[in-house]
Structure 1
């Protein structure tokens, strides 16, 4: 017998129960349903992740938003007084970085590589701007192997954009 909070109790055969259990125990999404904190310099606000396959959008009621695709940043907007729209568009092997529609930088990014295993797993990606500026992006994984922190260096002379998973 299985009891459901809103529907009452029903009799299930063993095969039905195992099928239902399998549906309910699917692998948890690494970015959902957690609350995250977005930080850009002194500005900090909490955001929530929404899966819009194939992208994730982190947002809040203050107009802050970050869009990721395959852990690559695609857009960022809001972020307090800054309030510009950043867009990162791939063109062949280059990433074109736009700030409010104006091309600000062109990057070549390498692959992600593991730089540490303890106390947390940390992956880094080096992106070299055509003018020579080196931007380092990073991903940190918790003990369970889930993403716990994302750091994106966007433009030279500007703070990194940081997304940190908050503990529930």
Structure 2
């Protein structure tokens, strides 16, 4: 069975476990590569850890077909420069750290966690334009089947 890992960004809590999947094909947002090559620090002089395996880069609106599964990359910078969401089969949205669910609303992470909160808010507006999303999956605050309700007010 083939394993494909789509990284939403390169923070260690999202990329640190890739060695558990030694045969997996890894996908990294192209705009995120600067974070693992010591070009752009995560904060002050602290850099994200390099990914020491081969990876394939994805850009905004790239589509990867894996058998019957369609994975669309949606560049949503702000948390990091290359933060990317993945829309699976036009109906399941994986957001990584682009947003969190709080009191029935989708909200950006705090300014302390983002590299550019203003840009992240614009990225959330981009996500709010998506149609027919049945399931929204975040990295740290769970999932919801109420995308339209949660995202209301962001566009």
TM category (shorter chain) comes to under 0.3
Task: Looking at secondary structure, tell me which structure has more strand per residue.
Answer: 1
Query: TM-score, structure 1 length as denominator?
Result: 0.25
The structure that has the greater radius of gyration is 1
Indicate the structure whose relative CO is greater, using CA pairs within 8 Å and at least 6 residues apart. Answer: 2
Query: TM-score, structure 2 length as denominator?
Result: 0.26
